[in-house]
């Protein structure tokens, strides 16, 4: 019976082992198939090869190191015991283990297990090893050691890791041989204390000497790490670091070498206390030289005259921080405030006026959800901002993808979840500056199938197989038709027509996917055929992170309409925390969520955390402990096929050049990006927020000003939904005196620290040819320029406005004060704030844009539309703005009247009618219906334009 149980136990162990191995093999194969389907086969095998060989090399070194030490311990203890050099008789433990193979098995297994752990520790730094062996020079040096920055970014981290790993190996070896000697009786515990035979003591002393030599190497490396010191006034090595700590490190280095020498001397010396003298001397030196001496220098030499001592090092911190965050080339421009805008100035800046944002992302998302989700299993997870040329007119818009909400799928069986409901459908798009008479967004793209007011926004492939919340895998090209979209009481069905998944072309592939997803239906379902494909990693963030985990990614991918198809663009960053003298950004970057109108936790960004914050997106990537960042890569993902392309936009970045050396097939030059996609590149908001947080301090380039903190800036507050929140960077179409035409900019105003008046604003260009250029406009310090909170206070104190707000709040409704935006017009500033109204209910009512507030100088107006508010401020006929527009013709801006627009719309209506008649004659009912829908859209827009002329 006992033998039978043993066989059962062994069989169970074998089965479990095979199950684990099959899972590991299935994971590798499935991942390899996925990378191959994307065309990134080289990326996968380079990564696997780097992990394998890194782990193998470190593991083999550990085997050799541990094995050699244990072998020597075995050799010394066995041979010398046999010669009876110490005892006439062997101890009981020696007799036991000399006649048993158990200790040999335990020793070998222990060596292999520890070596495997050491190999895994080495494997964890596989990417660092690749960067080290493929590094590119930065072409700039540090100010102290005059070494290329690449040494600090690529080499120094590896040196520290290798030293730490070797130290761990030596300590593990020392513990292993000590235990072995204990078993062999070379180390005994008696009443008079621990007794160690000479050969065991000598062996441990050699290992101790190696430990001290590794410590000496560590002290040498720590000298370079002083450039990351945080002990002085500013980040990086200060006066005490370079005049005391570096000398202390040199002393400690030689002390460590001397201590290693004492351990070696103990091999021949009769003085058994030499190792203890070495250890005590090292500890005393570390306390006195490493801590007390620098403290005395700081207290007696630096503190009484801190600025004069630290000034040159403060300058290093300023310069290298600006370099690390790409702020060293920021243009600072004086902005002389003039309150002399006229109605003619407003009309001459008509493109800016026509793109003033009065739609807010959070209420807009809720409106999209209630008006355009169509079915409960659809969801608008996020609202994005972009700009399009619509019928030749440059328009800033907001848009949101209609994705599947897998939590709301009716009857969520395996078949429904993975074979039937496979994709989202279409999008909503509306301009930022208009609304319907009911206060709802003016939808330029809407409904299912998508209906667009212009051919420039037409979507001919609206299926969304890849998106921000597509967490579930999908099996396409099965015998099961896919749900496409609802049409009245019926549903439309479709079949996938591309190659966006991994083919299940063999039984072994189906078996591998069944093991990978722990789902037997891959093997047994009759709906799956050899033509079927599996789509996984469909959520955008997981997709790009699986391809290139060494990059950091913006939290907000955005949707693009290009050539009738839908694409996603994601900004990718190269980052490091090893740039010398550059202040680390250590806060958690949290971005506002578009899904809530309330408040939430505070942001941890320095300078962006004043007052209560809005609700933030959860489970997003973080950018922490970095002091260098570049937006070197733009990632494009086809929403239908899943094709993923990484485009280089900053080929001067040494980090991305290093990654290109490692993965030569991963990156494509920006010149290969289609122009229809290139037109939608924008400056990333995550990086801009980090740069703004750093620049609010490091714009003080004078060390004296920096030391005194005379000119600290802050990010202003605003009132949103009756709560104070920070102003977050926002996109706006505008033109300054330094620009030839309007373009999309990313803006953020600044106020002085602990003040509410504005001191300036920061702008990043999003359009070519100025893309990436950052400008800071400084206001005169002797003049009062209203900040957002001061405008908010004036709005609250305005008697007429306060009366209406109070009345609305008392009628069972909630007033939502939207984001305030500050837009420069020539040399003046306009403040725009929308007011929304929604019914108070447990579900939350439909937000409606009811009023627009415009502030200019000492004047404030609240009206139903933006045109009315502007006409009230500047005293002109409110129809004036509606009668003209500015379009792009052959690359040039042309101002024309609405009459010209009406003529163009009439021509398009006739063209769509002629197309419909042609389709009718040929019996093409699908084309006939599409032409009639386009004709309806044009006639509706013609009606809207005509009403604006009245």
Q: Which residue has the higher pLDDT, 858 or 893?
A: 858
Total number of residues shown for the chain: 950
* Dihedrals phi, psi of 516, to nearest 5 degrees: -65, -45
Establish how many alpha carbons lie within 13 A of residue 105's alpha carbon, considering only the half-sphere containing its beta carbon. 3
**Phi, psi values for residue 656, rounded to 5°:** -70, -30
Give the list of residues 6+ apart from residue 657 with CB closer than 8 angstroms, or none: 136, 651
pLDDT at 805 over 90: no
Task: Please determine, for residue 930, whether its predicted confidence score (pLDDT) is greater than 90.
Answer: no
Judged against a pLDDT cut of 60, whether residue 199 lies above it is answered with yes
Residue 266 pLDDT grade (very low, low, confident, very high; cuts 50, 70, 90): confident
Residue 18 has pLDDT above 70, yes or no: no
Top pLDDT among 874 and 928 is at 874
What is the arithmetic mean of pLDDT over 821-834? 90
Report d(CA 950, CA 939) in Å as an integer: 17
Report whether pLDDT(737) > 90: no
Determine contact, residues 491/497, Cβ cutoff 8 Å: no
pLDDT above 60: residue 255: yes
In the prediction, which pLDDT does 896 show?
45
Residue 791 in this model has a pLDDT that exceeds 70: yes
The DSSP output letter for 422 is -
Question: Is it the case that residue 586 has pLDDT exceeding 80?
Answer: no
| Mean pLDDT of the residues in the chain | 85
pLDDT at 2: 58
pLDDT computed for residue 95 by the predictor: 52
Residue 176 CA to residue 67 CA, distance in Å, equals: 10
Q: With the C-alpha atoms ordered 848, 850, 854, 860, is the resulting torsion angle positive or negative?
A: negative
Q: How far is CA 643 from CA 458, 569, 597, 638, in A?
A: 21, 12, 35, 5
Q: Using CA atoms, how far apart are residues 444 and 429, in angstroms rounded to an integer?
A: 6
> Which residue in this structure is represented by tokens 């929140």?
725
Residue 60, helix vs strand vs coil:
helix
pLDDT of residue 898: 45
* Token pair of 330 as six digits: 């920021």
Range of weakest confidence among 125-139, 372-386, 610-624, 710-724: 610-624
- In this structure, of 210-214, 709-713, 939-943, the range with the lowest mean pLDDT score is 939-943
pLDDT given for residue 88 in this prediction: 43
Name the band, by pLDDT with cuts 50, 70 and 90, for residue 822: very high
Q: What is the mean pLDDT of residues 536-558?
A: 94
Residue 661 has pLDDT above 90, yes or no: yes
pLDDT at 871 over 80: yes
In which band, very low, low, confident or very high, does the pLDDT at 184 lie, cut at 50, 70 and 90?
confident
Half-sphere exposure of 579 (CA within 13 A, CB side): 28
- The DSSP result for 878-930, as a single string, is TTTGGGEEEEEETTEEEEEEHHHHHHHHHHHHHHHHHHHHHHHHHT-HHHHHH
The overall longest dimension of the chain from CA atoms, in Å, is: 119
Give dist(CA 731, CA 747) in Å, integer. Answer: 6
Reported as a single tens digit per residue, the pLDDT across 312-329 is 999 999 999 999 999 999
Sole residue written with tokens 């909400």: 405
Distances (CA, A) of 637 to 339, 345, 540, 544, 736: 46, 42, 8, 9, 34
Output 601 or 226, whichever has higher pLDDT. 226
Cβ pair 210, 281 in contact under 8 A: no
Residue 10 confidence (pLDDT): 64
pLDDT digits (tens, 9 = 90+) for 434-457: 888 888 898 999 998 899 988 899
Q: How far apart are CA 834 and CA 932, in angstroms?
A: 36
For residue 296, give every residue at least 6 positions away whose Cβ sits within 8 Å of its Cβ, in sequence order, or none. none
- The average pLDDT across 460-466 equals 95
The C-alpha torsion from 224 through 230 and 231 to 236, rounded to 10°, is: 50
Q: How far apart are the C-alpha atoms of 74 and 66, rounded to whole Å?
A: 12
Q: Is the dihedral of CA 240, 244, 246, 249 positive or negative?
A: negative
Mean pLDDT in residue range 364-369: 90
Residue 809 CB-density burial (10 A; 0-12 exposed, 13-18 middle, 19+ buried): middle
- Rounded (10°) angle between helices 198-225 and 246-265: 170
Coil, helix or strand for 770? coil
- Quote the CA–CA distance of 850 and 838 in Å, as a whole number: 10
Tell me which long-range contacts 793-799 makes (C-beta under 8 A, separation of at least 24): 794/855, 794/860, 795/833, 795/853, 795/855, 795/860, 795/862, 796/719, 798/860, 798/862
Please give the torsion angle defined by the CA atoms of residues 293, 296, 298 and 304, in that order, rounded to the nearest 10 degrees. Answer: -160
- Give the integer Cα–Cα distance in Å for 303 and 602: 35
On the question of a cis peptide bond just before residue 183, with omega within 30 degrees of 0, the verdict is no
Q: Quick one: average pLDDT of 800-828? A: 85
Pick the range with the lowest mean pLDDT from 48-52, 355-359, 860-864, 889-893. Answer: 889-893
Q: What is the pLDDT of residue 23?
A: 73
d(CA 687, CA 682): 12
Q: What is the pLDDT of residues 95-132, one digit of tens each?
A: 555 545 777 888 888 899 999 999 999 999 999 999 99
**Worst-scoring range by mean pLDDT, 68-82, 566-580, 792-806, 931-945?**
931-945
Contact 853, 832 (CB under 8 A): yes
The band of 150, judged by pLDDT with boundaries at 50, 70 and 90, is very high
Burial of 396 (0-12, 13-18, 19+ CB in 10 A): buried
- 629 or 734, higher pLDDT: 629
Q: How far is CA 901 from CA 392, 897, 906, 907, 941, in A?
A: 11, 7, 9, 10, 10
Residue 686 has pLDDT above 90, yes or no: yes
User: Which residue from 773, 770, 761 is spatially nearest to 742, judged by alpha carbons?
Assistant: 770
Q: What's the pLDDT score for residue 133? A: 96
* Calculated CA dihedral for residues 460, 463, 469, 471, nearest 10 degrees: -150
Task: Provide the CA 557 distance to its chain's centre, in angstroms.
Answer: 10
What does the pLDDT read at residue 121?
A: 95
């Amino acid at each position: 019976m006992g033998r039978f149980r043993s066989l059962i136990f062994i069989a169970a162990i074998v089965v479990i082992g095979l199950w684990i191995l099959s899972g590991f093999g299935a994971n590798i194969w499935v991942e390899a198939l996925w990378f191959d389907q994307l065309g990134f086969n080289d990326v996968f095998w380079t990564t696997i090869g780097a992990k394998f060989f890194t782990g193998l090399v470190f593991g083999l070194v550990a085997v050799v190191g541990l094995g050699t030490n244990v072998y020597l311990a075995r050799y010394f203890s066995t041979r010398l015991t046999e010669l009876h050099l110490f005892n006439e008789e062997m101890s009981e433990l020696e007799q036991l283990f000399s006649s048993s193979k158990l200790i040999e098995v335990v020793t070998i297994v222990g060596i292999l297990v520890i070596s495997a752990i050491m190999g895994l520790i080495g494997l964890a730094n596989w990417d660092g090893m690749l960067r080290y062996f493929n590094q590119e020079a930065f072409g700039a040096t540090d100010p102290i050691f005059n070494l290329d920055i690449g040494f600090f970014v690529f080499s120094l981290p590896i040196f520290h890791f290798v030293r730490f790993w070797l130290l761990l190996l030596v300590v593990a070896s020392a513990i292993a041989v000590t235990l072995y000697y204990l078993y062999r009786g070379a180390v005994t515990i008696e009443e008079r204390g621990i007794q160690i035979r000479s050969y065991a003591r000598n062996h441990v002393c050699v290992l101790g000497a190696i430990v001290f030599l590794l410590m000496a190497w560590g002290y040498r490396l720590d000298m370079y790490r002083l450039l990351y010191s945080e002990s002085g006034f500013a980040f990086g090595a200060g006066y005490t670091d370079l005049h005391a700590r570096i000398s202390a490190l040199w002393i400690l280095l030689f002390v460590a070498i001397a201590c290693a020498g004492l351990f070696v001397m103990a091999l021949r010396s009769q003085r058994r206390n030499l190792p203890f003298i070495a250890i005590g001397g090292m500890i005393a030196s570390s306390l006195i030289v490493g801590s007390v001496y620098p403290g005395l220098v700081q207290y007696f030499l630096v503190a009484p005259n801190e600025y004069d001592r630290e000034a040159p090092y403060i300058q290093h911190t300023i310069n290298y921080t600006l370099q690390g965050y790409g702020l060293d080339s920021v243009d600072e421009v004086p902005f002389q405030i003039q309150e002399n805008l006229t109605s003619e100035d407003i009309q001459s800046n008509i493109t800016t006026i026509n793109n003033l944002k009065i739609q807010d992302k959070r209420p807009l998302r809720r409106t999209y959800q209630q008006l355009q989700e169509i079915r409960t299993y659809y969801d608008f997870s996020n609202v994005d901002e972009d700009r399009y040329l619509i019928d030749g007119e440059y328009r800033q818009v907001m848009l949101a993808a209609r994705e599947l909400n897998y939590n709301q799928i009716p009857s969520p069986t395996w078949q429904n979840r993975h074979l039937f409901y496979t994709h989202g459908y279409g999008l909503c798009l509306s301009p930022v500056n208009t609304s319907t008479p009911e206060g709802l967004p003016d939808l330029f793209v809407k409904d299912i199938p998508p209906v667009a007011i212009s051919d420039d926004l037409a979507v001919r492939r609206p299926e969304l197989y890849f998106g921000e919340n597509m967490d579930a895998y999908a099996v396409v090209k099965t015998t099961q038709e896919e749900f496409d979209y609802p049409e009245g009481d019926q549903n439309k069905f479709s079949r996938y027509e591309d190659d966006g998944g991994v083919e299940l072309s063999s039984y072994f592939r189906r078996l591998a996917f069944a093991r990978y997803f722990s789902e037997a239906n891959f093997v047994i379902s009759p709906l799956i055929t050899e033509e079927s494909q599996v789509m996984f990693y469909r959520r955008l963030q997981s997709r790009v992170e699986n391809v290139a985990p060494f990059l950091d990614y913006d939290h907000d991918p955005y949707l693009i309409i290009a050539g009738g198809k839908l694409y996603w663009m994601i900004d990718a960053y190269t980052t490091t925390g090893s740039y010398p003298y550059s202040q680390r950004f250590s806060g958690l970057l949290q971005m506002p969520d578009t899904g809530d109108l309330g408040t939430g936790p505070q942001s941890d960004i320095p300078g962006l955390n004043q007052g209560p914050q809005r609700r933030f997106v959860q489970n997003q990537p973080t950018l922490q402990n970095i002091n260098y960042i570049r937006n070197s890569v733009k990632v494009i993902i086809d929403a239908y096929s899943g094709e993923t392309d990484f485009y280089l936009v900053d080929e001067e970045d040494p980090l991305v050049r290093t990654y290109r050396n490692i993965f030569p097939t991963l990156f494509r030059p920006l010149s290969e990006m289609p122009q229809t996609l290139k037109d939608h590149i924008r400056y990333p908001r995550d990086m801009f927020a980090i740069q703004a947080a750093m620049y609010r301090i490091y714009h003080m380039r004078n060390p004296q000003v920096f030391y005194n903190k005379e000119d600290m800036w802050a990010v202003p507050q605003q009132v949103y939904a009756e709560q104070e929140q920070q102003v977050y960077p926002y996109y706006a179409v505008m033109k300054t005196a330094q620009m030839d035409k309007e373009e999309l900019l990313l803006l953020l105003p600044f106020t002085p620290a602990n003040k509410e008046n504005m001191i300036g604003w920061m702008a990043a260009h999003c359009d070519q040819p100025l893309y990436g250029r950052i400008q800071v406009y400084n206001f005169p310090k002797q003049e009062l320029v209203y900040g957002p909170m001061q405008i908010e206070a004036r709005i609250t104190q305005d008697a007429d406005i306060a009366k209406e707000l109070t009345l609305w709040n008392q009628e069972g409704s909630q007033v939502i004060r939207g984001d305030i935006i500050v837009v420069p017009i020539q040399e003046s500033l306009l403040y725009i704030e929308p007011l929304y109204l929604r019914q108070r209910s447990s579900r939350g009512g439909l937000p409606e844009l009811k009023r627009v507030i415009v502030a200019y100088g000492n004047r404030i107006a609240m009206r139903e539309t933006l045109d009315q508010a502007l006409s009230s401020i500047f005293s002109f006929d409110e129809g004036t703005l509606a009668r003209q527009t500015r379009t792009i013709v052959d690359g040039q801006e042309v101002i024309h009247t609405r009459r010209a627009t009406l003529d163009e719309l009439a021509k398009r209506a006739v063209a769509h009618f002629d197309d419909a008649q042609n389709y009718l004659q040929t019996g093409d009912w699908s084309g006939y219906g599409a032409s009639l829908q386009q004709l309806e859209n044009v006639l509706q827009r013609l009606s809207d334009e005509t009403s604006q002329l009245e």
